[in-house]
Structure 1
């Protein structure tokens, strides 16, 4: 009889390879999956087997519907690409944007597993070719919610024995379903019609209310949630206050590392900002350094821009969320938001385009008084107000975002508040305000704009090689200052001259902490020298007044003396 020691010393035999790890290594070159990836993949494979064993009826422990929250850069694509190669039927993957489909199609082709793509404006021949490829064993089917509105296409897909549906960027169900993408609200009915055994919804960011909405629309309120922490420790968050954002953007771009993304809210803004940046970089000898990307470009233009940006080690891409969501360029070092997104989820999603290679990336939000004013129309505590709370916070910015997503307390890995570098006033506003203090009651608005631009443009040429501040920028700042009652227009002797109200002037002199844009108190000599023209004028008036008063007093005094002399002589 063998002893226990002899048994333990015997060779254990050949180790059985883990199929998901084998596929990840052989097909995608990934030597090891993350724990969250293994969990999600295992849920998909186990749920499919359970559903098959129970004839499509979910058992008590079956996780056939799941919502997966993984931070950007955590490799959520592998969570549906790996099991697709292990399941018998194809996997249907739904994307919100054609840019994402194009990006994923490119990656799958490079990996040797070209997908079948269904999208709008395809010919009948193209559709038939797609179904032939599915019959031949294609494992990936890419589509968007709108193309699945076709009953004919749905009926054909129903016969394709789809094993798994993966819905990428599932927060779009809540973000867009009620507005311009109503097709998202029909996905629950489509899932039921296709009778697919396993469905997984993926997103990088979702607050508790968004999670509930996704669950209700897609799964009738019944879904298993797999949640990883939404925090990306390698992303540093910064806010830059600015009234003239174009000026602040160029200043920021020149300080930050590239490749760099600039997010804007509209196609018109994207093209305007890209043109402005391109002109500057061409002036300093950097050709083809800036391009733009938005949904209004043709298919060929989009493809050209993608091919230009993906391999580029330097360069700036100005874009809308049409490019940002799901883009997989790993070495983006800086993400700048020229316009704030509507929700914290959207901001985290777009900021998460940076640092996907796990290197440190900076996410910078440009924030203006106008942005703050727009945010005030929303109820405090609402999803739409979170980004204003983030921008105007005096506590950790990272924690503000995580709190909005229902996350736990974390030690901040980097934000300007925790680093002690936060500047809660607009420097361009401060410059103009200081200029008005030095020249109060000297200029009308038109005169002030001309004089200030002369001063600023001299400085811009020294700093940037060209004038950056424009008349419209100064007008914007003046509007902000006037709205905040920090400047006034005088009357009478100083008709239409710009001035500082006395209460603001004294609070500036004695340093009132609520005057957020003034960082240091003025010294008395500094204060007096700033007002020499006014004090000189005041002195002249006082001298005149005193001289007149003195002369009158002298005359009256001598009249009295003369009267006294006459009286004495008469006696």
Structure 2
């Protein structure tokens, strides 16, 4: 099969990006594939082209509803009508219709939670699929940076005899995460493609402050005088709101984005950012996955992320157009303690495990602990998964090990800040890769000239944007402040 001709016919492209042709070629041979491709390298094409070449549906398991909807919308914009998203947004009638005609769709997007519903699971196993895709596959791993217990069960749902090939996609993955992906998906000697995680056009800067207030002051002064678009990552919803409000007061078109906002508000903010109506987004890590904005010029971490995987995923949202972008990592003494708290906040503690088992022993449904607020949704999901498979003592030990591992991950981010070794080299090594050569304007430790990388902000342009945008902001975004 001439893949180049198929690429031109279905997508109008003259050439594949690195890795795409090898990945698709192995899928067409019926092999399982693990593909690690950085953000912006065309992961979706790796299942979309096979979807046109096969005459059977492609099932894509996607972890986030916003990501799923974004992918569905993109396909529809390309003219594809045989696409559906099975998620909680569907009404009962829409779900029944979709399940009845499931075999007729070319692309079926589904959340892991929906995949596990008995009715859906049975219907999936009835139809003949051409390919199964685990998107953002790092979520499968218990050591992944977005651990989702329901993702661990994908392998249990998929047929083990005469099943189609499985494609696991992610932007980054350590060796440990890769082993988990292959194991939990029950992959059969998969072909593995790993693109370098190094993004040469993203320049790495670290800045150390004595007081936390100085970080905020620096952010405000820097943002109001330099050009975006940009994303500021912070660890709390309150701080996201506070920083965005300060930027608005400086006539910067900014908005806070976090899971505490209504879905409609988040969608509006996202669309405004993509359309260029907003210069900056101030966000928790709830923002970014599935956001396809080519020209993000700056990413600022107001405080250190919990893992190097988080860091690489988040800075990877900059410079997708190939032009220069800058990633700023800000640090103040003690930030690592807050990062450890955030990293382990949703891990079940010993008291949670004991309470869960007491409820079960009393003949009560453990869901009551979720309803009455004793357990968070994440803690409940994690315990529901592991306590169905292991003894309480083993689960306690597992959670302790996971806490230690997460602490170790934070310490690796701290080394990125404290060591004088090339920042890029440290990050690339974390993913088991090596830098071939040193580049110009690499990072703070190697020497960097920011005047050539960060443009001055066009103040008049920012003000014009602000006039129309602020009218909507008052109604939609500041009503709860």
Q: Above 0.5 in TM-score?
A: yes
The equivalent of 2:245 in structure 1 is: 275
The equivalent of 2:41 in structure 1 is: 74
The equivalent of 1:351 in structure 2 is: 315
The equivalent of 1:453 in structure 2 is: none
Deviations 1:460-481 (A, max 9, x none): xxxxxxxxxxxxxxxxxxxxxx
CA 1:108/1:372 → structure 2, altered by over 3 Å: closer, same or farther? same
SS at match of 2:295: coil
SS at match of 1:72: coil
* Residues 116 and 141, structure 1, Cα contact 8 Å, conserved in 2: yes
Deviation at 1:179, TM superposition (A): 8.5
Say yes or no: does 1:161 pair with 2:187. no
Q: Provide the rounded CA distance (Å) in 2 between the counterparts of 1:195 and 1:391.
A: 49
The equivalent of 1:118 in structure 2 is: 86
Q: Provide the rounded CA distance (Å) in 1 between the counterparts of 2:178 and 2:170.
A: 10
The equivalent of 1:39 in structure 2 is: 22
Point out which structure has higher relative CO (alpha carbons under 8 A, 6+ apart).
2
CA 1:150/1:372 → structure 2, altered by over 3 Å: closer, same or farther? closer
Deviation at 1:381, TM superposition (A): 9.9
Q: Provide the rounded CA distance (Å) in 2 between the counterparts of 1:307 and 1:178.
A: 26
Say yes or no: does 1:338 pair with 2:308. no
Deviation at 1:391, TM superposition (A): 1.5
Deviation at 1:320, TM superposition (A): 2.4
Deviation at 1:83, TM superposition (A): 0.9
Deviations 1:126-172 (A, max 9, x none): 1122235534x321111121111201101112222111111111111
The equivalent of 1:227 in structure 2 is: 194
CA 1:353/1:376 → structure 2, altered by over 3 Å: closer, same or farther? closer
* Residues 26 and 191, structure 2, Cα contact 8 Å, conserved in 1: no
Q: Provide the rounded CA distance (Å) in 2 between the counterparts of 1:318 and 1:169.
A: 23
CA 1:268/1:194 → structure 2, altered by over 3 Å: closer, same or farther? farther
Say yes or no: does 1:181 pair with 2:148. yes
The equivalent of 1:325 in structure 2 is: 289
Residue correspondence of structure 1 range 435-514 to structure 2 within 5 A: none
CA 1:158/1:396 → structure 2, altered by over 3 Å: closer, same or farther? same
The equivalent of 2:208 in structure 1 is: 241
Of structures 1 and 2, the larger Rg is shown by 1
- Relative to the length of structure 1, the TM-score reads 0.62
* Residues 224 and 247, structure 2, Cα contact 8 Å, conserved in 1: no
* Residues 27 and 111, structure 1, Cα contact 8 Å, conserved in 2: no
CA 1:194/1:164 → structure 2, altered by over 3 Å: closer, same or farther? farther
Deviation at 1:196, TM superposition (A): 3.2
Deviation at 1:264, TM superposition (A): 2.0
Residue correspondence of structure 1 range 4-153 to structure 2 within 5 A: 18=2, 20-47=3-30, 63=31, 65-114=32-81, 115-120=83-88, 122-135=90-103, 137-153=104-120
CA 1:409/1:116 → structure 2, altered by over 3 Å: closer, same or farther? same
CA 1:29/1:293 → structure 2, altered by over 3 Å: closer, same or farther? farther
Structure 1 unaligned spans of 5+: 1-16, 48-62, 423-571
* Residues 20 and 46, structure 2, Cα contact 8 Å, conserved in 1: yes
RMSD value, Cα: 2.7
* Residues 4 and 14, structure 2, Cα contact 8 Å, conserved in 1: yes
Deviation at 1:411, TM superposition (A): 2.3
Residue range with higher mean Cα deviation, 322-331 or 246-255: 246-255
CA 1:406/1:34 → structure 2, altered by over 3 Å: closer, same or farther? same
* Residues 304 and 336, structure 2, Cα contact 8 Å, conserved in 1: no
SS at match of 1:34: coil
CA 1:176/1:404 → structure 2, altered by over 3 Å: closer, same or farther? closer
The equivalent of 1:458 in structure 2 is: none
CA 1:412/1:321 → structure 2, altered by over 3 Å: closer, same or farther? farther
Of 443, 452, 468, the residue aligned with 1:415 is 443
CA 1:131/1:418 → structure 2, altered by over 3 Å: closer, same or farther? same
CA 1:362/1:133 → structure 2, altered by over 3 Å: closer, same or farther? farther
The equivalent of 1:389 in structure 2 is: 415
* Residues 386 and 401, structure 1, Cα contact 8 Å, conserved in 2: no
* Residues 379 and 385, structure 1, Cα contact 8 Å, conserved in 2: no
CA 1:305/1:362 → structure 2, altered by over 3 Å: closer, same or farther? same
- Relative to the length of structure 2, the TM-score reads 0.73
Deviation at 1:234, TM superposition (A): 0.9
CA 1:179/1:404 → structure 2, altered by over 3 Å: closer, same or farther? closer
Q: Provide the rounded CA distance (Å) in 1 between the counterparts of 2:188 and 2:409.
A: 21
CA 1:27/1:409 → structure 2, altered by over 3 Å: closer, same or farther? same
* Residues 230 and 281, structure 2, Cα contact 8 Å, conserved in 1: yes
* Residues 334 and 362, structure 1, Cα contact 8 Å, conserved in 2: yes
* Residues 139 and 146, structure 2, Cα contact 8 Å, conserved in 1: no
* Residues 336 and 410, structure 2, Cα contact 8 Å, conserved in 1: no
Q: Provide the rounded CA distance (Å) in 2 between the counterparts of 1:292 and 1:104.
A: 23
* Residues 93 and 143, structure 1, Cα contact 8 Å, conserved in 2: yes
Q: Provide the rounded CA distance (Å) in 2 between the counterparts of 1:318 and 1:305.
A: 11
Q: Provide the rounded CA distance (Å) in 2 between the counterparts of 1:262 and 1:22.
A: 42
Deviation at 1:222, TM superposition (A): 4.6
SS at match of 1:171: helix
CA 1:399/1:319 → structure 2, altered by over 3 Å: closer, same or farther? same
Residue range with higher mean Cα deviation, 330-339 or 272-281: 272-281
Deviations 1:493-512 (A, max 9, x none): xxxxxxxxxxxxxxxxxxxx
The equivalent of 1:256 in structure 2 is: 226
Q: Provide the rounded CA distance (Å) in 1 between the counterparts of 2:133 and 2:153.
A: 15
